Amino acid sequence: MPSIPLHPRAISPSNPHDNPLPNLLQTPSGLALLELQGTINFPSTEEQQPDEQQSQDQDPADNDAAPTATGTTYETPLGKLMFPDYSPQTTSNDDTSWMKRVYLYVGRYQRMTGEVKKLPQPIAVVQRRGETDELEILEVVKFKMIFKSRPEPVNDS
C-alpha cells in the first residue's frame, strides 16, 4: 500500500491516571519522554528473557507488537524519579529553575542527575491505530527529561 494515513488524533485517547510529574511535563494523554545515555539492563526473569533479546536484536520497527492480553502486562520496578527543586504547591508555573535538576535513582544505590529540557522541535508519538495499517498521533510532547551523566553511587538514607 503506497499511501498510509496518519491521523492527527488518536481514536481512543488513553485516560491517564493521576500524573505525578510536574505540570510542565504533563500531557493530555500522560505520556512523557525520558532520554538516557545508555540503556537500562533489567533483572531478567526466565519469561522476560526472550522478549528482551528480541527487542535488542531486531530492528526497532519490528518491535511494534501491540500489548497482548492485559493479563500478561507487568511492571518491573527500576528506581525512582525525583525533582528536588520542584514542589507542586510552591513552584509557580513560570519558574523554570527546577528544570535544571532531576534525579533518576536506579535501584537504591545509584543516582543519575539530569535535567528537563524543552525539545527543539515537538515530538509526535505515533502508533498504529488498532490492528489496522493506519497510524495516528497519540500525543505531541514538548519537553523531555534527559540524563546524560554517569550514575553516581549514593547512600540509601
Partner 1 sequence: MSTQAARSIPFTHTTPQQGFRLLELPPELVELVFSNEAPTLELKSPPPSQSQTESQSEPDEARDYVHLCTPNKTYQVRQVQSSNSLHILRPSTNAAIVENKNEIDNNGDDDMDMELAMNTETVTSIAKCGSTLELYMPKEGFSAVPFLVKTLGFYSGGEDRADVDVDMVDGDEGEYARITMNALFADIPVSKAQCEQGWVDLCAFVLRSNAKTNTPSANCWRPSAKVKVDVWKRVVEGAVLQGINLEKQFLVNDLWKSVLDDNGEEPFPRGLFEAVVRRVCEDSTASGEAMQWTNIEKPRCIQWIGETYLEAKAPTATSALGRSEFLNAWKDHLPESWRSEVTFSKLPEGSYKFPDPTSICYVKEGDRQKVKKNLSTDASAATTAKKSRNWHELFRNQRRR
- Give residues 101-120 in contact with partner 1 (rule: CB under 8 A): 103-105, 107-109
Return the sign of the alpha-carbon dihedral for residues 139, 80, 18, 146. negative
Among 13, 23, 80, 152, indicate the residue that binds partner 1 (CB under 8 A): 80
140 scored as a contact of partner 1 (CB under 8 A): yes
Instruction: Considering the complex, state which of residue 69 and residue 93 has its C-beta at the smaller distance from partner 1.
Output: 69
- Binding to partner 1 in span 16-75, by CB under 8 A: 16-21, 29-40, 42-43, 45, 48, 51, 55, 60-68, 72-75
CA dist 15 and 118 (Å) reads 24
By CB under 8 A, is residue 7 in contact with partner 1? yes
Q: Does 137 bind partner 1 (CB under 8 A)?
A: yes
* From 85, 95, 130, 150, residue interacting with partner 1 (rule: CB under 8 A): 85
User: Any residues with CB less than 8 A from the CB of 35 and at least 6 apart, and which?
Assistant: 144, 145, 146, 147, 148
The least CB distance from residue 100 to partner 1, in Å, is 12
- For the CB of residue 30, give the shortest distance to partner 1 in the complex, in Å: 5
End-to-end CA, the chain: 57
How long is the chain? 157
Is 10 near partner 1 (CB under 8 A)?
no
C-alpha pair distances (Å), 68 with each of 12, 62, 73, 92, 125: 17, 15, 8, 41, 20
